[in-house]
Structure 1
Amino acid sequence: MTHTLPRRRAAAVGLALSLLLTGCAAGGDDGSGASGPSETTAGDGGTDQGLSAEQRREQRRREAQQQREQALAGPAEEHREQAEELVSEMSAAERAGQVLVGQYDGVDAAAMAEQIERLHLAGAIVMPPNVPTGADGGVDVETLSGELERLQAATDDEIPGIVAVDQEGGLVTRVGEPLTEWPTPMAYGAAAAGDGSEGDGSEGETSEGDGPDGSGLAVAGHRAMAADLAELGFTMDFAPTADVTVGPADPTIGARSFSTDPQLVGELSLAATRGLAAGGLAGSLKHFPGHGSVEEDSHVALPRQDGSREQLRERDWKPFAAGIEAGVPMVMMGHLEVPALEEDVPTSLSAAAYGEVRDMGHDGVIVTDALNMGAIVDGYGPARAPVLALQAGADLLLMPSDVTTAHAAIVEAVDSGEVSEDRLRQAAERVVALQLWREELADGELAAGPGVEAPEVLAEEDEGGSDGSDGSADSDGSAGSDGSAEVAGELAGESVTLVSGTCGQDLASEGIRILGGDAQDRARLSAAAEEAGIPTGRGITVRLIGGGQGAPGGDVAVALDRPSSLEGADAATRIALYGRTQESFAALVEVLSGAEAPGRLPASVGELGVGDGGC
């Protein structure tokens, strides 16, 4: 009997969708980060006299939404003014520290904390070697939280420090279990395409009879992920990836991208940034000018992007432009060579590249990608790269290969006049304003953020889930204590895509034989099958494909990461899963048992394009 995967969209997703507002740029505010309704005025600046009760209510709703959007978009004028005052009292050495984020070795953060205090650093980033493990092999969250507290305590008393991480979900997960495990970001693209967006540029739409689209799910998912990280002590997440992947020719981004469709990537990357802010973290669109359409990995070499400005604006730059127009706290500059901007110069060291971001309207922080990556450190060294990046227009310098050398080089460059005092001061002010905003947001002192109760005019709208369920959401659109796991499971179920085969066909009635994948993949699929009462070791052959092109053979081919892996598979039934979580494999088992897969392709697979596939 044909059946569909259960529609488990809780009110958390419906609530989160209301955080996405069209046409509300952050730049037009009056510094009002504080909560509370503004004075009600008519659209032409007059009073609300003469308006009906319904019109007045709609006006109040719009104003409350705009306040919430502005609170999530980044620093307000009050934060910038406070930052200007704080930076004006700093020495050149202190200002130089405020534009640097360092890294450290091992799980003990004592040496990093000493460096932060001695060099007045903005903070540090936590990478996998810094994450302690417990006896069960998972993250020792108590020890990690203590080390993050040590890092935060080392920063200036008046300026909250940066404790950063790269946490995208899927392949880029720095802090694992017991934190919730997430599918790849491309899963959001599949859920969005499956909800009627289909890459057509629509925003906030829903398919008939369904819940909110993938944008709402992206807000809810990133908000839940941020809440988990913030509870440990993180303040910043260098996510989401706003790169537009071009498919198999892209060796680096792949399923880290939401889609091959620029419009869909723009919609979902903005939603993800809003979700991170709602959970208390500062997020960053990355990696301008777009790493998804080059054929080399900037971790080891300098990729070259030969597109013209017009071509790049239509594809790679479109998500960044959309996010900047709506207001985002930060943009990350990648390491690419783009002759259309500046020949033979990495974009992270190019004034033309930073100028392009500023011309889009971004007045917040621009952070470099890691300065210890092969594309930069091999060609410029530990002293020159930070100076050139700051001189070109970077505000925050991430992971210089030697932070002490970088700090000294910046101070020397300012003393010699190579970098102007105004340039360093401007960069420090932007970074400090970002940190002040993030702290107030996390503390619930703005019109949105963790624990902030929605105004009554929005709360009533938020409470109405499209499926009639009351879910597990708080009045600010946040998930409850189990919200992370619920939203991650929902994402897995909503994104699974039938690329070829018969919709609703029960393939697993006689059992499944599992090939491919790694040991954990096979174990998780076996566990999901056992939970569903499906025997393993006999029946149809299910081949799991991770990474590149799929191998021939098998009755069912399953792409665990990027769906383009299915192009080399000759199985009659092909399924894109977008993740390796236990919930992802549970969703796969449901489809193999006859459930209809609700997702649609967010990226092309052979002749199939965005929005194709599915039931």
Structure 2
Amino acid sequence: MNSSPRRVVILALAVSLFASSCATDDAGPDGSGNGGAGSESSAGQQRSSAEEDAQAEHDAAVDEARQAREAALAGPGEEHYEQAAGIVAEMSLQQQAGQVLIGEYQGNDVESAAAQIQQLHLGGVILMGHNIPGGTSSVDTEALTGQLQVLAAADPQREVPPILSVDQEGGLVTRVGAPVTEWPTPMAYGAAYAADPERGLRLTRAGHQHMGRDLLDLGFTVSFAPNADVTIGAADPTIGSRSLGGDPEAVGNLAVAGIRGLAEGGLAGSVKHFPGHGSVTDDSHYTLPVQQADLEQLRSRDWVPFAQAVEAGVPMVMMGHIEVPALDPGVPSSLSAAAYEEIRSMGHEGVIVTDAMNMAATYGGGDQAAVSALAAGADLLLMPTSVPGAHAALVEAVESGELPAERLSEAAERVIALVLWQQDLAAGELAAGPDVPMPDILHEEDRGNDDGAADLEALRSSEAADVLLGEAVTVVEGQCEAPLVTDSIQIYGGTEQDRARLAAAAERAGISTGAGPVVTLLGGMTPGTGDVVVALDRPEGLASSTAGTKIALYGRTPESFDALLRVLTGEAAPGGLPVSVGEYGQGHSGC
């Protein structure tokens, strides 16, 4: 804008008169003009200083409240360990030997399982798919709750109840399904994180909180989740979509969020499977995988998430069955003192639980394997091939001096401290937990985040799962926010249940089936063809698929297919790839 000389003069004069007026009005007794101006400046400085002090005091209060919550959720406190030490000191050798064992049972024979808990003083049991009344996808929740109540009351004389555990990760590893909310694969969290790390973490924590609450309501106390395995993608035959992703730091952040969420739901979780199952090319269920990476490579990749989790504080770490020649040639990590020492050197003081001892990688998990694992540093032995045999072997090993009595007592103390902590957490006795309201100062702080994730805990579990899927679904190739289907679709691939669920979702969206664009569902890494190819679990199969549109869904739940239909009819697909898919790297989105 141009200014005339006259306007400039007037402006200058006005400024001069204003300055003169201020000088006259603010003059002190000596006419210097410093009295009023100095007072106003001083008052302003005082107000600024008071505001800074108030903000600093507020920030300190927020930090203190957050640290108290995180400490409560991180695992047993000193009081739990002290109480556990007193309980173990009064235990017999037979009781201590039982306390470090997690058994299993066949079908719904809960009475025999309860009898074994009482007779062998077992630390607890794990329920697998065949133990779930009604089946994993049509659960009789009333019967399941009744069975867990029988197990919990198996030995009323003991000071701490047995652990009632389950593998509940979401996706492929879902032991308790509908009508309990089914969650997508853990990789879905990684996809949400790839698009928006902060929101991805909040979604991960909220999702696991809902999962934990649902399991707690049924009667479970422990879920062996989340995975901290960093997947290498298509060459990883075992973990795949069970992994949170292929970036070590992202996996670590997400694993901590997941285990915190489980604790907020009232459950003890366990990061798994150290030393990392996502970068070996064999399956430890069937053979002993060999990790050929050197220690420098492992510490910069596979072990990063475990180190992050331990630094944050977690109640439990699971030891896998993997040979690491750089640590202990020829020995499964679950039987290797060097592997346990790695976890301890990170700073973990809580429970280290073995993966299932009946897997082939432990050479059949015989009775002696239980002694070897405990001697190496394990605290809790999961699913020995013979629970009575493992119990007898532990007792005999202590009596003969093969296994130091102090090692058994130490393990039993850690397990009991874990149980005591979980009880207090579930009962609302700590600074956080399922029935402990968030302090107002933190609630206000979180409300300041406008991403809406803080409100997820107020939703029903199924609604929260729907939100997560909407954030995770990823268009790898193709048009974004454009209708890909109109009136009807043809459905191919997947399982019968997958096709039925997609058809039901299409009907809910007003889309018929039997004609129109071909939507092909991939249940694994085998590529497919069609107008739209959708990877349901892991996305690597999309790399060699032929289609105009390729979508990674990360799940096959009803909510997954609803999310897919929203994208097919033109809504956004905000997720990013949590793992490389062909030429597309981590974080890629076609949108």
Equivalent in 207, 228, 236 of residue 250 of structure 1:
236
Give matches, 1:417-456, under 5 Å. 417-456=401-440
Match of 1:348 in 2: 334
Q: Are the aligned partners of 1:109 and 1:147 in contact in 2 as well (CA < 8 Å)?
A: yes
Q: Are the aligned partners of 1:464 and 1:470 in contact in 2 as well (CA < 8 Å)?
A: no
Task: Kindly name which structure, 1 or 2, has the bigger radius of gyration based on alpha carbons.
Answer: 2
Q: Deviations over 1:544-573 (max 9, x none)?
A: 10112212x211110001010111201121
Equivalent in 276, 282, 286 of residue 262 of structure 2:
276
Equivalent in 460, 466, 471 of residue 494 of structure 1:
471
Q: Give 2:219's aligned amino acid.
A: G
Instruction: Give ranges in structure 1 of 5+ residues lacking alignment.
Output: 1-48, 198-204, 206-212, 474-478
Secondary structure at the counterpart of residue 514 of structure 2: coil
Q: How many residues align?
A: 541
Match of 1:382 in 2: 366
Q: Report which stretch shifted further, 119-128 or 526-535.
A: 526-535
Equivalent in 549, 553, 562 of residue 586 of structure 1:
562
Give matches, 1:391-430, under 5 Å. 391-430=375-414
Q: Are the aligned partners of 2:227 and 2:272 in contact in 1 as well (CA < 8 Å)?
A: yes
Q: Give 2:141's aligned amino acid.
A: V
Q: Give 2:152's aligned amino acid.
A: Q
Residues 469, 188 of structure 1: CA spacing in aligned structure 2 closer, same or farther, 3 A cutoff? Answer: closer
Question: 1:464 Cα deviation (Å)?
Answer: 4.3
Residues 538, 355 of structure 1: CA spacing in aligned structure 2 closer, same or farther, 3 A cutoff? Answer: same
Q: Give 2:220's aligned amino acid.
A: F
Give matches, 1:183-582, under 5 Å. 183-195=184-196, 197=197, 205=198, 213-378=199-364, 381-464=365-448, 466-467=450-451, 471=455, 479-480=457-458, 482-551=459-528, 553-582=529-558
Question: 1:469 Cα deviation (Å)?
Answer: 9.5
Q: Give 1:555's aligned amino acid.
A: D
Secondary structure at the counterpart of residue 538 of structure 1: strand
Secondary structure at the counterpart of residue 241 of structure 1: coil
Q: Are the aligned partners of 2:502 and 2:561 in contact in 1 as well (CA < 8 Å)?
A: yes
User: Please, what is the CA RMSD of the aligned residues?
Assistant: 1.7
Residues 88, 609 of structure 1: CA spacing in aligned structure 2 closer, same or farther, 3 A cutoff? Answer: same
Q: Distance in 2 between matches of 1:535 and 1:406?
A: 57
Residues 509, 150 of structure 1: CA spacing in aligned structure 2 closer, same or farther, 3 A cutoff? Answer: same
Equivalent in 567, 588, 591 of residue 612 of structure 1:
588
Question: 1:536 Cα deviation (Å)?
Answer: 1.6
Q: Deviations over 1:512-553 (max 9, x none)?
A: 1111111111111111111111222111111110112212x2
Instruction: Give ranges in structure 2 of 5+ residues lacking alignment.
Output: 1-49
Residues 237, 470 of structure 1: CA spacing in aligned structure 2 closer, same or farther, 3 A cutoff? Answer: closer
Q: Report which stretch shifted further, 179-188 or 530-539.
A: 530-539
Q: Deviations over 1:296-319 (max 9, x none)?
A: 110111001010000011111100
Q: Are the aligned partners of 1:549 and 1:567 in contact in 2 as well (CA < 8 Å)?
A: no
Q: Give 2:284's aligned amino acid.
A: S
User: Given the two structures, how large is their TM-score scaled by the length of structure 2?
Assistant: 0.89
Q: Deviations over 1:407-434 (max 9, x none)?
A: 0000000011111011001101100101
Q: Distance in 1 between matches of 2:295 and 2:208?
A: 31
Q: Distance in 2 between matches of 1:228 and 1:137?
A: 15
Residues 494, 137 of structure 1: CA spacing in aligned structure 2 closer, same or farther, 3 A cutoff? Answer: closer
Q: Which has the higher contact order (CA 8 A, sep 6+)?
A: 1
Q: Distance in 1 between matches of 2:237 and 2:320?
A: 15
Q: Are the aligned partners of 1:494 and 1:599 in contact in 2 as well (CA < 8 Å)?
A: yes
Q: Which has the higher helix share?
A: 2
Question: 1:463 Cα deviation (Å)?
Answer: 3.9
Q: Are the aligned partners of 1:377 and 1:401 in contact in 2 as well (CA < 8 Å)?
A: no
Q: Distance in 2 between matches of 1:462 and 1:595?
A: 28
Q: Distance in 2 between matches of 1:470 and 1:357?
A: 33
Q: Do residues 54 (structure 1) and 30 (structure 2) align?
A: no
Q: Are the aligned partners of 2:478 and 2:590 in contact in 1 as well (CA < 8 Å)?
A: no
Secondary structure at the counterpart of residue 116 of structure 1: helix
Residues 377, 150 of structure 1: CA spacing in aligned structure 2 closer, same or farther, 3 A cutoff? Answer: farther
Q: Are the aligned partners of 2:525 and 2:539 in contact in 1 as well (CA < 8 Å)?
A: no
Q: Distance in 1 between matches of 2:440 and 2:575?
A: 34
Match of 1:113 in 2: 114
